[in-house]
């Protein structure tokens, strides 16, 4: 996380596939003071807990060939929907002028989903992306990690 500057009033998004923290830097680039503005959560259990049926089978129109269908990854679908919901919320905030700079911190897979979902108006305001999972850390630890 070298050379990442987080100026005063920058919005810092820390998220994963089910939890999003919206933090605001009330300090300056040298001395961070992240304040929680909003927490957005969605329950997303593993696929094995969401689906109850076995994957289906398809039959060839001629002959006796059968093949198994791939199981639906409900967990991944929920993560993509969550990324879309977060991106929509950030777009509304950007459109309303609530932030000029955005730092995005999320695991690589979630970061990719967010990049795809971000509106141009949000993407233009992203000043840094950090591929890490930090939603389980307290805010003071996130500050320390960002300041290091």
Q: Is the pLDDT of residue 3 over 90?
A: no
Q: What is the pLDDT of residue 53?
A: 56
Asked if residue 110 is part of any domain, the answer here is yes
Q: Decide if pLDDT at 60 tops 60.
A: no
Is 3 contained in some domain? no
80 within some domain? yes
- CATH code assigned at 80: 3.30.420.60
Residue 21 lies in a domain: yes
Instruction: Please give the order of strands across the beta sheet that includes 11-15.
Output: 34-41, 19-25, 11-15, 102-106, 126-131
Task: Count Cβ atoms below 10 Å from residue 77 Cβ, excluding itself.
Answer: 13
> CA 123 to CA 114: how far, in whole Å?
10
Please report whether residue 4 resides in a domain: no
d(CA 34, CA 10): 9
Asked if residue 102 is part of any domain, the answer here is yes
- Report the DSSP beta bridge partners of residue 12: 23, 103
Q: How many structural domains comprise the chain? A: 1
* 6 lies in some domain: no
Band of the pLDDT at 102, cuts 50, 70, 90? very high
Banded pLDDT at 147 (limits 50, 70, 90)? confident
Structural domain that includes position 27:
11-43+73-147
Contact between 47 and 73 (Cβ < 8 Å): yes
The pLDDT score that the predictor gives to residue 75 is 61
Whether the predicted pLDDT of 25 surpasses 80? yes
28 domain-assigned: yes
- Percent of the chain at pLDDT exceeding 90: 57
């Amino acid at each position: 996380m070298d050379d990442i500057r987080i100026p005063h009033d920058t919005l810092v998004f820390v998220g994963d596939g089910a939890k999003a923290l919206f933090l605001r830097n009330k300090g300056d680039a040298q001395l961070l003071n992240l304040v929680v503005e909003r927490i957005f959560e969605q329950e997303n259990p593993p696929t094995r807990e969401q689906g109850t049926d076995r994957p289906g089978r398809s039959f060839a129109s001629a002959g006796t060939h059968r093949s198994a269908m791939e199981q639906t990854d409900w967990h991944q679908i929920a993560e993509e929907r969550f990324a879309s919901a977060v991106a929509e919320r950030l777009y509304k905030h950007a459109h309303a002028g609530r932030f000029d700079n955005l730092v995005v911190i999320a695991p690589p897979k979630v970061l990719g989903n967010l990049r795809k979902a971000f509106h141009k108006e949000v993407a233009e305001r992203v000043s840094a992306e950090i591929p890490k999972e930090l939603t389980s850390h307290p805010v003071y630890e996130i500050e320390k990690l960002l300041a290091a």
